[in-house]
Structure 1
Amino acid sequence: MTASKRIVLSSDHAAIQLRQTISGHVEEQGWEVVDIGPRTPESTHYPKHGEAAARFVASGECQLGIILCGTGQGIMMAANKVKGIRCGVCADAFSARMIRQHNDANMLSIGARVVGEGLALDIVDAFLSAQFEGGRHATRVEMIGALEG
């Protein structure tokens, strides 16, 4: 894992603008952003963007990742296929905090067609400010990891 705070961001075509807003927001918080998402609005496939971002996190090149698509669901499903990834889709700040505290999530997914910009930034802040609590939750996270085979 790198010494600096590095976070990867990606999306499909449906979430370019929100991804770029989030990118600037997390940079202001001291994160080094690795933005690997598309820059133009042509239709693109969310599975490849979810996988690519997940590989940055799984390899340790980035500590965390934020991915977006229309609902956040499809890109999250793709990311979770990469070994070592624990990604949750969140449409509220409470869930974003809990996936970090209880599930040691290393990626967050947001639906750009589900939440507005202000709420999305609140979700990101909750995710980034929370820390894994360990304890009884560590056993459960280990159980999730064991499912990867």
Structure 2
Amino acid sequence: MKRVALASDHGGFGLKAEVKNYLTSKGYEVVDLGTDSETSVDYPDYGAAAAHAVLENRADCAIIMCGSGIGISISANKFKGIRCALCFDTYTAKMCRMHNNANIMALGGRITTIERAADMVDLFLTTEFEGGRHQKRIDKIEELAKDSWC
């Protein structure tokens, strides 16, 4: 069974609660990293919390949400070893795993229905990385991180 970390800011809180219920109903272990309400908070804190959970093996992967999914995905991608993909349909959810071996998926809480999110979550959690030519590209991304200007 996969341990899935969930994190969101206030803009993603509603969808996070629905995704949490969905995952729990399917038997996944959920690590809820907050936030716990619609009170305004800073999305970088929650993107970082999810990245740390994955990098420290407290979760096998993560699903993160803010209003659009953009800010929280940018935040998570600041961490070496994280490949966070902002997904908006089933194709992007499948391809982020198949070709990019994404370990975090970001969703827009204000633009994604639970029905669409459930389909994307299922694909993100069950699609295997193809490896092969795609591994070479993942390796290049890791090399680029070594030369980071940050």
TM-score, normalising length from structure 2? 0.94
Q: Which of 10, 15, 19 does residue 18 from structure 1 map onto?
A: 15
Partner of 2:38: 41
Gaps spanning 5+ residues in structure 1: where? none
How many residues are paired up? 146
Cα deviation digits, residues 18-51 of structure 1 (max 9, x gap): 1011012112222210001111221000001001
Aligned to 2:107: 110
Question: For the Cα contact (< 8 Å) 1:5–1:30, is it kept in 2?
Answer: no
Q: 2: distance between equivalents of 1:121 and 1:115?
A: 10
Alignment of 1:19-98 (within 5 A): 19-98=16-95
Aligned-partner Cα distance in 1 for 2:85–2:43: 15
Identity score, percent: 42
The residue type paired with residue 60 of structure 2 is Q
Q: In the TM superposition, what whole-angstrom CA distance separates every residue of 1:43-63 from its partner, at most 9, and x where no partner exists?
A: 000001001111000112211
Deviations 1:60-108 (A, max 9, x none): 2211000000000000000000111000001101111000010000000
Which has the higher mean CA deviation after the structures are superposed, 8-17 or 113-122?
113-122
Distance in 2, matches of 1:129 and 1:27, equals 16
- Cα distance in 1 for partners of 2:27, 2:139 equals 30
Amino acid of the structure 1 residue aligned with 2:109: A
4+ runs of 1 displaced by more than 3 Å? none
**Partners in 1 of 2:18 and 2:105 — Cα distance?**
15
Which residue number in structure 1 is paired with residue 131 of structure 2? Answer: 134
Q: CA RMSD in A?
A: 1.0
Partner Cα distance (1:5, 1:120) in 2: 18
Q: Give the secondary structure class of the aligned counterpart of 1:65.
A: strand
Deviation, structure 1 residue 134? 0.6
